[in-house]
Structure 1
Amino acid sequence: MRAIRTRIVAALVLRSAIAALLFAMLLAGCHRGTRADAPLTVVTLNLWHDKQDWPHRQDLIVAGLQAQSPDVILLQEVLQDAGLPNQAATLAERLGYRYRFFSVDPPDRARRYGNAILTRAEPLATHEIKLAPLDDYRNAGHVLADIGGRRISIYVTHLHHTAEGGAIRARQVEDLLAFVAATRGDAPVLIGGDFNTRADAPELKPLADAFVDAYATAHPGEDVDAPERSTLNTHAGHAPLRIDHVFFPRDAFRIDDARIILDRADANGAWPSDHYGVRVRLLPR
Structure 2
Amino acid sequence: MRAALVAALVAIIVGAAASACSVDGSSDDWPPTATPTTGASAAPGSTPLTEPVEAPTQLKVAFINLLSPLSRDANNPVASDTFDQRLEIVIEELRAFNPDIVGFNEASWTKATGSAAEKLAKALKLEFQYARANPWFPGQTQEQSDETVKLTGFEEGELILSRYPILRYERKALNPRTSETGEGRAALHVVVRVPGLAETIDVYITHLTGADEKVRAAQGADFLTFVSATRGSGPHLVMGDLSELPDRGVAQALVAAGLVDAAAVFPGIVPIVTCCRAAIIGEQPGLTLRTDYIFVTGLPVESVGMFGLAPRKRADNSLVYASDHNGIQVVLRLAGAAP
What is the TM-score when the length of structure 1 is the normalising length?
0.79
User: Which residue in 2 is equivalent to 1:247?
Assistant: 295
User: 1:125–1:143: 8 Å Cα contact kept in structure 2?
Assistant: yes
Matches within 5 A, 1:70-219: 70-104=99-133, 105=136, 106-108=145-147, 109-110=149-150, 111-134=154-177, 135=180, 136-150=183-197, 151-162=200-211, 165-210=212-257, 211-217=259-265, 219=266
Shift of 1:142: 0.6
Instruction: Supply the AA of the counterpart residue of 1:118.
Output: L
Q: Secondary structure of the residue that 2:289 maps to in structure 1?
A: coil
User: Which residue in 2 is equivalent to 1:45?
Assistant: 64
User: Which residue in 2 is equivalent to 1:17?
Assistant: none
Instruction: Supply the AA of the counterpart residue of 2:61.
Output: V
Aligned identity (percent) is: 27
Shift of 1:187: 2.6
> What's the CA shift string for 1:141-164, capped at 9, x where partnerless?
0110112343210001100112xx
2:306 is equivalent to residue 277 of structure 1 = no
User: 2:208–2:216: 8 Å Cα contact kept in structure 1?
Assistant: yes
Q: Counterparts of 2:93 and 2:270 in 1: how far apart (Å)? A: 26
Q: Secondary structure of the residue that 2:191 maps to in structure 1?
A: strand
Instruction: Supply the AA of the counterpart residue of 1:232.
Output: C
Q: Counterparts of 1:119 and 1:177 in 2: how far apart (Å)? A: 23
Shift of 1:220: 3.0
Q: Give the length in aligned residue pairs.
A: 244
Shift of 1:234: 5.6
Q: Secondary structure of the residue that 2:247 maps to in structure 1?
A: coil
Structure 1 stretches of 4+ moved >6 Å:
none
Q: Secondary structure of the residue that 2:89 maps to in structure 1?
A: helix
Instruction: Supply the AA of the counterpart residue of 1:62.
Output: I
User: Which residue in 2 is equivalent to 1:56?
Assistant: 85
Q: Structure 1 or 2: larger helix share?
A: 1
Gaps of 5+ in 1: 1-30
2:296 is equivalent to residue 257 of structure 1 = no
Shift of 1:175: 1.0
Gaps of 5+ in 2: 1-52, 70-78, 137-144
Indicate how the Cα distance of structure 1 residues 209 and 123 shifts in structure 2: closer, same or farther if over 3 A, else same.
Answer: same
Shift of 1:185: 2.0
User: Which residue in 2 is equivalent to 1:6?
Assistant: none
Shift of 1:259: 1.0
User: 1:166–1:203: 8 Å Cα contact kept in structure 2?
Assistant: no
What is the TM-score when the length of structure 2 is the normalising length?
0.67
Q: Counterparts of 1:152 and 1:138 in 2: how far apart (Å)? A: 23
> What's the CA shift string for 1:92-114, capped at 9, x where partnerless?
11111111111133234232111
Indicate how the Cα distance of structure 1 residues 95 and 271 shifts in structure 2: closer, same or farther if over 3 A, else same.
Answer: same
User: 2:194–2:201: 8 Å Cα contact kept in structure 1?
Assistant: yes
Instruction: Supply the AA of the counterpart residue of 1:264.
Output: A
> What's the CA shift string for 1:27-74, capped at 9, x where partnerless?
xxxx75x53xx1111110111112141111121111111001111110
Q: Counterparts of 1:172 and 1:96 in 2: how far apart (Å)? A: 33
Q: Counterparts of 2:83 and 2:301 in 1: how far apart (Å)? A: 33
Shift of 1:176: 1.0
Instruction: Supply the AA of the counterpart residue of 1:274.
Output: D
